[in-house]
Amino acid sequence: MLILGIESTAHTFGIGIFDGKILADARSVYKPLKGGIHPAEAAKHHENAKEEILAKALNEAGIGLSDLDLLAYAAGPGLPPCLRVGLDFVKKLRRETKKPVVAVNHPVAHIEIAKMLTKAKDPVVLYTSGGNTQVIGYASGRYRVFGETQDIAVGNAIDTFIRETVGGYPGGPAMEHLASKGRNYIELPYVVKGMDLSFSGILTAAMEKYKRGADISDLCFSFQETCYAMLTEVTERALAHSEKKEVLLTGGVAASERLQEMISIMCKERNASAFLCPKEYSGDNGIMIAVAGFLAYRSGHRTKKLDFDSKWRVDEAEIMWMEG
Ligand code: ATP
Ligand code: FE2
């Protein structure tokens, strides 16, 4: 079965072609000139990139449109103008190919590609990026959110702190480098409420201490230690409650060596296995949409109405392929 997946939820327009193996992975990433992502501009980028990315993907896979068996697209969550581009494009491809189409939930796709590549079976997923911080695990037909940030994502907190102090983007690698030179722990608010987390207080406190002259390396060291300890605590509790035996790290912040280390130590102590999504596929891409679309279709899912939902939560998506 040959599946084409379309990703367009935020900054990336991607098309992946999958048949059990990754045959093509074409992407174009919108980069704002300054500041954050402008939804209308990102959509314009996708609009301009889509035909070229399709041609590139088909060429890479060495197939034509008529060879495809199934089309999949990311239907949410995401930025409405960007989702619209993906939806319109899949409708056009459906008219041209007359093939079935499945709507895919974007975070579910992040989880499925990570599982496929690491061979994790039924993990507690720690999904941490610039836009998301969630601890997720499968139970009775859904990916349940065990815990999540109540305000900003951890990557966003890191990026903002680095941008406002030493400058530059992304903040993660810069923070990691500075932290390696830090020696003294500076107290920052450690905020875990039940299974939920908060990172905005850490950001405010760290900024305040920076302005009052605290050493930047010590601050980065403390920032990391605090955030990653919080993430590890919630992940550990999710493991204990769910009685799962695997942890899967994905999203951009999963590249942090210190976070990987903390999660590995915790897993070892609990006799669980830690898995890490390869970097090339932890960011947004079309392959992950094709993979999740394939799993959904193969397990009997049929999308009736083609639409998008910019607020579609991971725990609202029906998961039919995990039992048995
Ligand atoms: P999504 O749309 O899924 O939220 P995203 O747009 O945030 O994804 P990603 O590439 O998944 O994109 O994640 C980027 C984030 O990862 C940034 O916040 C960046 O600072 C962070 N990051 C990258 N490398 C590291 C690192 N070594 N340590 C910590 N954070 C890192
Ligand atoms: Fe994403």
Residues 140 and 92 in one domain: no
Q: What is the number of the ligand closest to the CA of 130? A: 1
Residues 159 and 208 in one domain: yes
Read off the amino acid at residue 253.
Answer: V
Name which residue sits closest to atom 2 of ligand 1, judged by CA. Answer: 131
CB atoms within 10 A of CB 229: 16
Would you call 138 helix, strand, or coil by DSSP?
A: strand
Residues 138 and 266 in one domain: yes
Q: How many domains does the chain have?
A: 2
**53 found inside a domain:** yes
Name which residue sits closest to atom 11 of ligand 1, judged by CA. Answer: 252
Given the CA of residue 162, which atom of ligand 1 is nearest to it? Answer: 20
Q: How far apart are the C-alpha atoms of 37 and 188, rounded to whole Å? A: 29
Q: What is the number of the ligand closest to the CA of 174? A: 1
* Ligand 1 geometric centre to CA of 26 (Å): 20
Name which residue sits closest to atom 9 of ligand 1, judged by CA. Answer: 252
**305 found inside a domain:** yes
Residues 30 and 176 in one domain: no
**263 found inside a domain:** yes
Q: How far apart are the C-alpha atoms of 133 and 161, rounded to whole Å? A: 17
Q: Using a 6 Å CB cutoff, which residues line ligand 1?
A: 10, 129-132, 155, 158-159, 170-173, 176, 251-253, 255-256, 282-284
The confidence score (pLDDT) of residue 41 equals: 97
Name which residue sits closest to atom 10 of ligand 1, judged by CA. Answer: 252
10-residue stretch averages of pLDDT, the chain, 324 residues long: 98 97 98 86 98 98 98 97 98 98 98 98 96 96 98 97 93 97 97 98 98 98 98 98 97 95 98 96 96 98 96 97 84
**14 found inside a domain:** yes
**164 found inside a domain:** yes
Residues 167 and 273 in one domain: yes
The confidence score (pLDDT) of residue 36 equals: 77
The confidence score (pLDDT) of residue 106 equals: 97
Tokens of 230: 């919080």
Task: Specify the pairing of strand 192-193 against strand 196-197.
Answer: antiparallel
* Ligand 2 geometric centre to CA of 209 (Å): 32
**128 found inside a domain:** yes
Read off the amino acid at residue 38.
Answer: H
Q: How far apart are the C-alpha atoms of 10 and 129, rounded to whole Å? A: 13
Residues 185 and 257 in one domain: yes
**117 found inside a domain:** no
Residues 19 and 55 in one domain: yes
Given the CA of residue 154, which atom of ligand 1 is nearest to it? Answer: 18
Of the candidates 245, 297, 292, which has an alpha carbon nearest to the alpha carbon of residue 137? 245
Residues contacting residue 3 through CB under 8 Å, at least 6 positions apart: 17, 18, 19, 68, 69, 70, 71, 72, 290, 293, 294, 297
pTM, whole model, 2 decimals?
A: 0.95
Q: What is the number of the ligand closest to the CA of 129? A: 1
Would you call 196 helix, strand, or coil by DSSP?
A: strand
Given the CA of residue 107, which atom of ligand 1 is nearest to it? Answer: 3
Q: How far apart are the C-alpha atoms of 305 and 310, rounded to whole Å? A: 15
Residue 276 host element (H or E) = strand 273-276
* Ligand 2 geometric centre to CA of 21 (Å): 21
The confidence score (pLDDT) of residue 233 equals: 98
Supply the range of the domain harboring residue 96: 3-110+283-316
**What stretches of 19-171 adopt beta strand conformation (E)?**
22-29, 70-76, 101-105, 124-128, 133-139, 142-148
The confidence score (pLDDT) of residue 323 equals: 83
Residues 58 and 129 in one domain: no
Residues 199 and 294 in one domain: no
Would you call 308 helix, strand, or coil by DSSP?
A: coil
Residues 248 and 193 in one domain: yes
**154 found inside a domain:** yes
Residues contacting residue 21 through CB under 8 Å, at least 6 positions apart: none
* Ligand 1 geometric centre to CA of 273 (Å): 23
Task: Report DSSP letters for 1-34, one per residue.
Answer: --EEEEE-SSSEEEEEEESSSEEEEEEEE---SS
* Ligand 1 geometric centre to CA of 171 (Å): 8
Tokens of 107: 């975070």
The DSSP bridge partners found for residue 134 are 127, 148
The confidence score (pLDDT) of residue 324 equals: 61
Residues 10 and 94 in one domain: yes
CA 188 to chain centre: 26
The confidence score (pLDDT) of residue 70 equals: 98
The dihedral through the CA atoms of 253, 256, 258, 264 has a sign that is positive
Residues contacting residue 261 through CB under 8 Å, at least 6 positions apart: none
Q: For the domain that residue 59 is a member of, what is the CATH number?
A: 3.30.420.40
* Ligand 1 geometric centre to CA of 300 (Å): 34
Residues contacting residue 280 through CB under 8 Å, at least 6 positions apart: none
Residues in the chain: 324
Name which residue sits closest to atom 1 of ligand 1, judged by CA. Answer: 131
* Ligand 1 geometric centre to CA of 233 (Å): 20
Residues 153 and 230 in one domain: yes
User: How much of the chain is helix, strand and coil, in % rounded to 5?
Assistant: 45, 20, 35
Task: Specify the pairing of strand 70-76 against strand 3-7.
Answer: parallel
